[in-house]
Structure 1
Amino acid sequence: MHDGFESRESWPFECLRCLYVWEEDYVVRHLTDDHGNEVDIWLTSGVPVQPPWSGASCPACGAYHLTSFPTGYLARHPELTAAPDPVPLAKVPVVPVNEIDLPAAIRAPLPRRLLIAVGLPVVAFVGYELYQYVLGPAVPHH
């Protein structure tokens, strides 16, 4: 890599789950190698990170369903950033699942429901095929 330059970009985001709005600053290194191939390296605090459009998560609730605004949007709309900083995810109290009072229908673990939903049709199909195989020549066809 021999040719290149750096640029600074601020990306404003909004979480579509909790509606938290924030802005992240990036340094983007635009490089070109000897063959003319171009590559961008995204950095946050000097650490290489994924580009903002892939893998960003909400600092308030951890959701990955986000939207971004055009650059400079939050500077023109300061009322969006008036919310206090969220509680970091490490400080959110964790309640064990067995201490949450849920109806029995909701408490059923997914693997058991999935086994029933997928297993019953498979068992029916295999049973029918075995029945046809074992009794196939003995059963007259119309």
Structure 2
Amino acid sequence: MRCLHVWEEEYVVRHLTDDYGNQVKIWLRGSVTVQPPGSDTCCPGCGAYHVTSFPTGYLSRHPELVPMPAPEPEPAAELPVVRDVVRAPMVRATLPGRLLLAVGLPVALFVGYELFENMTRVVHPH
């Protein structure tokens, strides 16, 4: 609905009865069980989750909705090649290092606070 991209997907629907006598629909696409159309479907054009489904054959009855293929871009003028630019790769902390920091720092602060409280506690004789 956001970018007006139109596409078709084919499903096989199997109607089954479960052990309790309830009617069940199983949706298959390429022999793989999938969610029914319309649930968690996102647009392949823009990624939006607000999509609408139409009945089978809707696009064949409305060819004006079928998107036209994008025209081939004209080749751009050749730009000079710059080979002197070198960028250093970005270095991130590894997962164990970040995990140790995320878990170890709060534990170290808690233990340090408890030690401080125990050392500064005044013992009153009874």
TM-score by length of 1: 0.45
Is 2:46 the partner of 1:61? Answer: yes
> Secondary structure at the residue paired with 1:28?
strand
Partner of 1:41: 26
> Secondary structure at the residue paired with 1:66?
coil
**Identity over aligned residues, as a percent?**
70
Contact 2:12 2:29 in 1 (8 A): yes
> Could you say which structure has the larger radius of gyration?
2
How many residue pairs get aligned? The number is 70
Distance in 2, matches of 1:77 and 1:83, equals 13
Partner of 1:120: none
Partner of 2:3: 18
Task: Report which of the two has the higher share of helix.
Answer: 1
- The partner residue of 2:69 within 80, 84, 88 is 84
- The partner residue of 1:28 within 13, 17, 20 is 13
**Structure 2: any 5+ residue segments left out of the alignment?**
71-126
Distance in 1, matches of 2:30 and 2:66, equals 22
Distance in 2, matches of 1:57 and 1:30, equals 25
What residue identity is the alignment partner of 2:51? L
Contact 2:5 2:67 in 1 (8 A): no
* TM-superposition CA deviations, 1:7-32 (whole Å, max 9, x none): xxxxxxxxx11110111100111101
* TM-superposition CA deviations, 1:100-139 (whole Å, max 9, x none): xxxxxxxxxxxxxxxxxxxxxxxxxxxxxxxxxxxxxxxx
Contact 2:6 2:67 in 1 (8 A): no
TM-score by length of 2: 0.50
Greater relative contact order (Cα < 8 A, sep 6+): 1
Contact 2:59 2:66 in 1 (8 A): yes
RMSD of aligned alpha carbons: 1.7
